[in-house]
Amino acid sequence: MKKASLTRRSFFGLGATAAVGSLAAAGLGGCAPTANTDAREDGADRNAPVKEQAGYELNPQDESYTTFTTDYSHLFSPLQVGSHTLKNRIVKSGATSRTVSQGAGFSEDVKNFYGAMAEGGVGLIWMDQFVDFTGKAANGNTPIATDEDAALCKQFTDYVHEQGALIGMQVWGLWSQCSCDGAITAPFENYVATRKMLSVDEIHAFQADLVHRCQMMQKAGFDGVTINAGCDHTFSTFLSRFWNTQRDDEYGPQSYENRARILTELIGQIRQTCGPDFIIEVLYNGVEDNVEYLGKNDGCMTVEEAKEFARLFEAAGADMLQVRYGAYGYHAASFFTDVLHAVESGNTGYGTRVDFDRHFEGKVNGQYDGACALLEVAAEIKQAVGIPVGTVGVMDPRLAPDLIDNALADGKIDYVAMTRPLMCDPELPNKLQEGRRDEVAPCNHCLTCLQAVLPHPVTVGCRCNATFGRVKDGGIETSAKPKPAASPRNVMVVGGGPAGMEAARIAAERGHEVTLYEEDGSLSGLMTFASTVKGPHEKIADFCAYLERQQEVKGVSVVTGTKVDADLVAKEAPDVVLVATGGVRPALDIPGAEGSPLVKTIEEAAAGGDLGERVVVVGDNHHAIDLAISLIKQGKAVTILSDRAQEFFDVEHPSWVRYSMKAWMESKGLRVFYEASPLAIEEDGVRIDTNFGTTVTVPCDAVVNCQAMEPNTELFDAIPSGIEKHLIGDAPCSPPSPKP
């Protein structure tokens, strides 16, 4: 039986697929001070790597952060925020989801996304500002403009409150800034944004608009607002000397008070309008660095500056502070601290590496694969104020139990902010509190949940939560829990990979009697193989362990070491068969390939066989890229033959990390032939037809077949038509990716 192939986008065939719009046009580079602008022009130090001295290991990793001995007693202790008491220290951050429909009022999809988190035990939910209950929003801004609008929203906030959670909404404002007119190119993010300098009158109008929104939010039953002054958003450009360089008015760089004024005035206005019971959180950068141009960071914020701002925010009336960092040039890294650890720790996506002992003042923890990276930064800021301080950035209590609970116990932070772990499993808080940590669906840190924000998007989804993203497009009816079956049936699942195990889990949870068959002696399909190729960063081993545990928890009968054929299906006579036997990789069908000692399968290549020093990889899909990265790490010289145009290279990988991985490979000497067709395997290499009109032979010691998988329907076709059957996972395979 063929094993289910592993993908990043459709990790199992039940993965979520929802068409979503891209983010509002937003540049991730920015208008920098003169020194940084000069660097952009002359490329100074653009690709200057951090030099490693003999005996010095850059960003060594410590896996002890996953130690689990805690009972989570501090995580689940109450927290006083203003006049409110949070039942625990878990806060859903305001990161965008873009998975709920717009203009739906109290719709089932809004309830099932955010309501499921409330039911799952979160203490406080910050909704992203892209949720529009009314259908009147422009550019993603939430227009709760009338009492009728507020009434629509209040049905939802009442529901959340019934679950014991508090709820507020995030605002972050305009794609304008304090200084520097003009178009800013962000080459890493591959698009351009225009940022307009705000006049004083425009600042006041902007503040008034946000105050009005908060007033209407309060009418709608929201408990507060989180003001996003982090990353490279509008408010951040006033706070940071990196941006605030040209103003000579009261919002200029002349003092801390001036730089913070746009926020302190806004906090005071919200407090005056909404009263003492309306929670105000300020989310801002606790430290900054320029990851696009390492070393060009004179204007980046220091922790001492962030402490000064913390005092000003508290004095203005803020109730809580959420600490991020600013990673200029890589927007997503400012809240997804683990993306700087994709491929290797410190990878900037520009062919250079952050040294966590030196960059970001040496105060960002880079030894835990991105987890809890800002704990010490937040701890320093907390010393400056008396209001609660929390932080974001893989603050996942399933993944780092003792580290997080001890940080709360020691008073380093007061709460943890997260989004991805809750997208993955909305019941995470309840499961942890009930001692069911091994039942929490683990976030893989793959960023497929937000991959649709850059050019050539596939669609958002989640490897571990097959329903995530499927609500908005109508693909399913609920994103929380499967509905009980009207009449239980006898279900046979064939294939013990991720698709088969997930299908078995869901079917059993609905009340069906489920038997899962796997030809091998154990479950996992290609997940163990994939974990070996990819390494520990994406937590594939955790996901495999979770799915295997779910078979026990849901009462699935597991039969291993048994090959299923049509005769066995007929003998067992199930009511329905789910075939999850994986895809099939076609043979390399070119002259000289058959029997050539140069040609290897991806499994042979990954198993550590003798490939020599020069390897040609045929294909540029997710399997090919992951293998290429693995081979490069082994010191191989890798060439990729892609049959697609350059703009479609590796589009299966999540967009946030796609460019980062490619830049890393290129910095290691990767050669790619785009729109190339292999013509023949020769004695010392592979002859190809290039897109520049020539035929060349690429010398190599091995040619690895990484062509896209094709459907595996052998068993499915053999099952008699009288038996209900469904082909799932990689067995049917996804549609081919775009080609030129």
The pLDDT score that the predictor gives to residue 135 is 53
Residue 383: how many CA atoms within 13 Å on its side-chain side? 9
| Residues 314, 514: Cα–Cα separation, whole Å | 56
β-pairing, 685-689 with 695-699? Answer: antiparallel
Within 8 A by CB and 6+ apart from 408, the residues are 74, 75, 77, 89, 414, 415, 416
Partners of 170 in the β-ladder? 226
The pLDDT score that the predictor gives to residue 23 is 22
Cβ atoms of residues 477 and 562 within 8 Å? no
- Per-block mean pLDDT, blocks of 10 residues, the chain (740 long): 33 28 26 30 39 72 97 98 98 78 62 88 88 52 74 89 95 67 37 64 92 93 96 88 91 97 98 98 97 93 98 98 94 91 95 96 97 98 98 97 98 97 95 98 89 60 79 55 91 96 96 97 89 92 96 98 96 96 94 95 89 97 95 97 92 85 96 96 95 94 95 94 92 58
The pLDDT score that the predictor gives to residue 103 is 53
The pLDDT score that the predictor gives to residue 9 is 29
Residue with tokens 């939560």: 465
Closest CA to 179 of 258, 95, 276: 258
In one-letter notation, the amino acid at residue 302 is: T
The pLDDT score that the predictor gives to residue 132 is 54
Closest CA to 512 of 724, 721, 717: 724
The pLDDT score that the predictor gives to residue 150 is 87
The pLDDT score that the predictor gives to residue 56 is 74
Element (H, E) at 696: strand 695-699
Task: From residue 322, give the alpha-carbon distance in Å to each of 126, 381, 394, 573.
Answer: 12, 10, 14, 57
Residue with tokens 């990790």: 11
| Residues 514, 572: Cα–Cα separation, whole Å | 12
Provide DSSP, 25-50: S--SS----HHHHHHHHH-TTTT-PP
The pLDDT score that the predictor gives to residue 7 is 32
